[in-house]
Amino acid sequence: MEYDFLSVTLNPSLDREVIIDNFEVGNMYRIENPSNSKMEPGGKGINVSIMLSNLQMKSIVTGFLGGHIGRVIQSKLSAYENITMNFVYSEEESRENIEIIDPLKEVMTLINSKGPFINDEDYDHFLRRYKNSLSLVEHVVVSGSVPPGLKTDVYSDLMFEAKKRGKTTYMESIGPCFEKAILNNCPTVVRPDFRRKAEIFGKTLESIDDFIDASKKIIENGARLVVMSYQIFGDVITTNEGVWLFNPEERIEKSHLFGAGDAFMSGIIYYIINYNFNYFEAAKFGMASAISKTDYIEKKIGTLEDIKRSLSRFSIERLE
Amino acid sequence: MEYDFLSVTLNPSLDREVIIDNFEVGNMYRIENPSNSKMEPGGKGINVSIMLSNLQMKSIVTGFLGGHIGRVIQSKLSAYENITMNFVYSEEESRENIEIIDPLKEVMTLINSKGPFINDEDYDHFLRRYKNSLSLVEHVVVSGSVPPGLKTDVYSDLMFEAKKRGKTTYMESIGPCFEKAILNNCPTVVRPDFRRKAEIFGKTLESIDDFIDASKKIIENGARLVVMSYQIFGDVITTNEGVWLFNPEERIEKSHLFGAGDAFMSGIIYYIINYNFNYFEAAKFGMASAISKTDYIEKKIGTLEDIKRSLSRFSIERLE
């Protein structure tokens, strides 16, 4: 195939990453060093495409862009030679997200906006492009939030179209659209986005057993691999063969976690496309990619060598 | 004249105004209401042009714009019919500023970037445009920060050119460029930007006497009106005729102070251009504009009627 995968980001953003030591509410800061204030195209699907572009993987990105900010996102994305854009233009402006990273206190403060309203005509247009793009790839990742105006079965419908055509599907998200997709057209690889709250199927996950139960429920729905981040640094990994806990063997700076989830998903996709469909091994490669990412404060993945080296940087404990 | 005034903003920005209740470091916020996340052209001179455009005053805006963000600023500014743009394009990107306003806790958190590097060629180009624009106006406001690459006498030089041609000049800024202009080519109206720190001529101003002494020093250098914000809500006003303290007679929400300084300067310019050169009366009109602004959380000035009504919303105490 000409492209390795298709990535869907319904709600792309322009990410403003600001690094401020000892960030406190009520102050006035002046960023003196330009490298402490970056502007990057974002949204979880786009992040995966960017990270894998750096590993020479070719992808098509689709979703909605709008207005001035949409044009900035497009122009910045066009700098990546392995990314082909196939966006639909919405009437309203694309969103900007703000990420304030404090490396000293090791805290991140995130301010995300909702995104532009998508009308039915734009969605129909998108759906035609999505179906056309599906014929060009074997792997589809759908990640991130859903902009206003779209129905809650949007993710379920996208999965239905992909699965009907026999594609391998990957999804990272949270909320009603995500849950509907899991229940009706479950993706192959699922990573719930627990950054705000570990809550799924109407239940807040607290104990490790809660995480295991929820993971197994997703596997029962047809997923082959479920990755759930547990207690910040650890990850509960579930396949048809069992449940494991992956734990880094080193102290990781909290402020470096930004983008680690996207790196995890990127590693899984890279492994499955380039090596094979062993989901447990793919999860290990994903964890290694996430840990390799945490060597940087920015949203940046390491080289293939860095990732392979990071395979020994975490412990694996069998839970079930 | 075809234009009422020229406003110089060497370092324009795209301002992201985000309104978040109970904003705390380390959280992840999702802005649900788009009116709580705005994107506006900014920089102090541009703010004055926008506020006065709403009062039907025609201005030329000049300074440097660059890159994607520069184009967004330009496109947003083009929506104001009373603003004519005469920018020079720099190689590096214009900056974005982030303003997080918490109306419940009444706190503002400001994150400003430094701005693009301006090379000599761009500056020469700007200077030619500035001199040409001067022939089209009688009033010149130079406000805000100076981007990297420019010499510390840039503001002094701009004032020299304006004064040589007999223009009435207004300046709001802080730092070495600002102080050099005051000492060598003092503007007619001066408002130091004390938002970060009340510090000028190597001295931190603490007591009311410190403010009076510094104000009188600026008057001695040739200013006709000095406005210094004192203890958040009050203002020390100094002319050749005396020193006064202006104090609002009502409780003002701190979170509504954002842009009040620019409204103050706008009111002064409006008064002088439309009524007369009575600097004390102009300061009263400026104070009324600033108070009228604080009725809004956004960077928005009231109508002329609102401003006139606000003339009775503060007390005036003669200090000297």
User: Nearest chain B Cα to A98, which residue?
Assistant: B98
For the domain A5-318, what is the CATH code?
3.40.1190.20
Cα dihedral sign for A298, B41, B16, A104?
A: positive
Find the angle CA(A210)-CA(B25)-CA(A253) to the nearest 5 degrees: 65
- CB < 8 Å to B76, chain A: 68
Grade residue B1 by pLDDT with cuts at 50, 70 and 90: low
Tell me how far apart the alpha carbons of residues B17 and A37 are, in angstroms, rounded to a whole number: 17
Pairing of strands A107-113, A95-102: antiparallel
Give per-residue pLDDT as tens, B226-277.
Answer: 999 998 779 999 999 999 999 999 988 887 888 899 999 999 999 999 999 9
Is pLDDT at A228 greater than 70 in this prediction? yes
Grade residue A1 by pLDDT with cuts at 50, 70 and 90: low
B70 to chain A, minimum CA–CA distance in Å?
Answer: 11
Which pair of structure tokens corresponds to residue B112? Answer: 């400003």
- How does DSSP assign A178-241, residue by residue? HHHHHHHS--SEEEE--SS--EETTEE--SHHHHHHHHHHHHHTT-SEEEEEETTTEEEEEETT
**pLDDT mean over A217-235:** 94
pLDDT at residue A255 in the model: 78
Residues above pLDDT 90, as percent of chain B: 83
pLDDT at residue A239 in the model: 98
Name the nearest CA neighbour of B313 among B287, B280, B278: B287
Give per-residue pLDDT as tens, B79-100.
Answer: 999 999 999 999 898 998 999 9
Tell me how far apart the alpha carbons of residues A140 and B259 are, in angstroms, rounded to a whole number: 47
- CB < 8 Å to A71, chain B: 68, 71
Cα dihedral sign for B68, B69, B72, B78?
A: negative
Residues above pLDDT 70, as percent of chain B: 100
Give per-residue pLDDT as tens, B129-188.
Answer: 999 999 999 999 999 999 999 999 999 999 999 999 999 999 999 999 999 999 999 999
Is pLDDT at A133 greater than 90 in this prediction? yes
Range of weakest confidence among A214-223, A230-239, A309-318, B82-91: A230-239
Name the nearest CA neighbour of A68 among A100, A96, A108: A96
Nearest by CB to B114, which of A23, A31, A39? Answer: A31
Instruction: Spell out the residues 6+ positions from residue B251 whose beta carbon is closer than 8 angstroms to its own.
Output: none
Number of Cβ within 10 Å of residue A85's Cβ equals 17
Pairing of strands B59-66, B37-42: unpaired
For the domain B5-224, what is the CATH code?
3.40.1190.20
Grade residue A308 by pLDDT with cuts at 50, 70 and 90: very high
Task: Compute the residue count for chain A.
Answer: 320
Nearest by CB to B68, which of A27, A75, A102? Answer: A75
Top mean pLDDT of A50-54, A96-100, A111-115, B30-34 is at A50-54
Tell me how far apart the alpha carbons of residues A84 and B69 are, in angstroms, rounded to a whole number: 23
Size of interface A-B (CB pairs under 8 A): 109
Q: Are B191 and B47 in contact (CB under 8 A)?
A: no
Tell me how far apart the alpha carbons of residues B287 and B309 are, in angstroms, rounded to a whole number: 12
pLDDT at residue A299 in the model: 78
Which pair of structure tokens corresponds to residue B151? Answer: 């010499």
- CB < 8 Å to B110, chain A: 27-29
Nearest by CB to B25, which of A25, A34, A39? Answer: A25
Is pLDDT at A208 greater than 90 in this prediction? yes
Q: In terms of DSSP H, where are the helices of chain B?
A: 44-53, 67-77, 120-134, 154-164, 176-184, 208-220, 260-274, 279-293, 304-309
Grade residue A106 by pLDDT with cuts at 50, 70 and 90: confident
Where do the structural domains in chain A lie, given as residue ranges? 5-318
Which pair of structure tokens corresponds to residue A107? Answer: 């805290």
Give per-residue pLDDT as tens, A283-293.
Answer: 999 999 999 99
Cα dihedral sign for B260, B261, B267, B273?
A: negative
B12 to chain A, minimum CA–CA distance in Å?
Answer: 14
Phi-psi region of B106 (alpha: psi -120 to 50; beta: other; left: phi over 0): left
Q: Are A314 and A248 in contact (CB under 8 A)?
A: yes
Using the structure block, give the residue that is written with the tokens 């590097």.
B117
Secondary structure string (H, E, C) spanning B273-290: HHCCCCHHHHHHHHHHHH
Give per-residue pLDDT as tens, A28-60.
Answer: 998 887 778 888 999 999 999 999 999 999 999
pLDDT at residue A111 in the model: 94
pLDDT at residue A278 in the model: 97
Tell me how far apart the alpha carbons of residues B96 and B208 are, in angstroms, rounded to a whole number: 35
pLDDT at residue A253 in the model: 83
Question: How is residue A160 annotated by DSSP?
Answer: H
Q: Are B146 and B10 in contact (CB under 8 A)?
A: yes
User: Nearest chain A Cα to B98, which residue?
Assistant: A98
Best of A31, A69, A146 to mutate (most B CBs within 10 Å, chain B): A31
- CB < 8 Å to B113, chain A: 30-31, 34, 37
Find the angle CA(A17)-CA(A22)-CA(A24) to the nearest 5 degrees: 85
Pairing of strands B139-143, B199-200: unpaired
Q: What type of residue sits at position A41?
A: P
- CB < 8 Å to B95, chain A: 37
Q: Are A294 and A260 in contact (CB under 8 A)?
A: yes
Which pair of structure tokens corresponds to residue A129? Answer: 């492009």
Which pair of structure tokens corresponds to residue A248? Answer: 């880094």
Using the structure block, give the residue that is written with the tokens 């572009």.
A53
Q: Are A30 and B114 in contact (CB under 8 A)?
A: yes
